[in-house]
Amino acid sequence: MPACLKIDVISIFPEILDAYLGESMMKRAAQAGLVSFRTIDLRNHTHDVHRSVDDRPYGGGPGMVMRPEPLFEAVEAVRTPESRVILMSPQGRPFTQARAGELSGEKHLILVCGHYEGVDERVRGALVDEEISIGDYVLTNGILPAAVVIDALVRLIPGVLGAGEEAVEKESFQDGLLEHPQYTRPAEFRGMKVPEILLSGNHEEIARWRRDQSLRETRKNRPDLLS
Ligand code: 9D3
């Protein structure tokens, strides 16, 4: 049995993540003891009556900045020498399948979700090991990015996917192309026919057709993968 990856998520919306982690493959992985999740409400690490997690920026300007004290306190409450502290941030390094694979081998991840206009620079400087963005678009907070990162790496933990699914994964990543089209029954649906070749039983021809279709898809939607 592989070691259990521990994932802590610090956020002001822990119940949003709880809903996702309580379903489907995330739930099964946790029940199987392959991963364990804890969601931490950042407001539990405030000490003022308003439980405030943000404040106005020094130097002026619009919006708010997340205060350092609750974030430091929340991280320090769960951190060990084996922890990796990751800030979810639009200024982070773009998340990739390769990074998911690397992170799935860690022992303890602490994901910190930003909100509003960002976090006090002292958090980035002294608390965080790395920053991750999930893409070039602006969201209102980091909770969905945290769910995306968790989903991508939990499914890579050995034993989470079925044995067959893991084999398929390896194959389709070898060539670095998008997947070919797939069909299932019926052979004709509302006048749309399954390509004859797939019904032929000629596996060599089928493999050639699929490679060609993969190339077409990649040229159309992801030409960057070909250069
Ligand atoms: C004022 C400058 N903004 C940066 C473009 C500040 C800002 C906007 C939105 C700071 C945080 C957010 C909320 N987004 C995230 O926390 C976030 C995110 C995202 O918006 N896009 C892609 N990946 C991520 S990871 C965390």
Q: Which residues pair with 86 in a beta bridge?
A: 111, 130
Written as one letter, the residue type at 181 is P
What predicted TM-score, i.e. pTM, was given to this entire model?
Answer: 0.94
Rounded to the nearest whole angstrom, what is the distance from the C-alpha of residue 194 to the centroid of ligand 1? Answer: 43
SS3 category, 211: helix
Rounded to the nearest whole angstrom, what is the distance from the C-alpha of residue 61 to the centroid of ligand 1? Answer: 17
Which atom of ligand 1 has the smallest separation from the CA of 113? Answer: 16
Q: Are 74 and 45 in contact (CB under 8 A)?
A: yes
Rounded to the nearest whole angstrom, what is the distance from the C-alpha of residue 90 to the centroid of ligand 1? Answer: 4
Q: Express each pLDDT in 101-127 by its tens digit.
A: 999 999 999 999 998 778 999 999 999
Tell me the two tokens of residue 50. Answer: 């308003």
Q: Express each pLDDT in 154-173 by its tens digit.
A: 999 999 998 777 765 755 55
Distance CA(128)–CA(97), nearest Å, equals 21
| Exposure on the CB side of residue 166, measured as CA atoms within 13 A | 11
SS3 category, 180: coil
Domains of the chain: 5-163 (3.40.1280.10), 172-226 (1.10.1270.20)
Q: Express each pLDDT in 126-152 by its tens digit.
A: 999 999 999 999 999 999 999 999 999
pLDDT at 12 over 90: yes
Q: Express each pLDDT in 46-62 by its tens digit.
A: 999 999 999 999 999 99
Q: Express each pLDDT in 182-193 by its tens digit.
A: 999 999 999 999
CA distances from 61 to 58, 64, 117, 121, 139 (A): 8, 9, 11, 16, 20
Residue nearest to atom 7 of ligand 1 (CA): 117
Rounded to the nearest whole angstrom, what is the distance from the C-alpha of residue 116 to the centroid of ligand 1? Answer: 8
Distance CA(41)–CA(46), nearest Å, equals 10
Residues with CB under 6 A from ligand 1: 88-90, 114, 117-118, 133-135, 137-142, 145
Which atom of ligand 1 has the smallest separation from the CA of 63? Answer: 1
Mutate which of 64, 87, 89 for ligand 1? The one with the most ligand atoms within 8 Å of its CB, which is 89
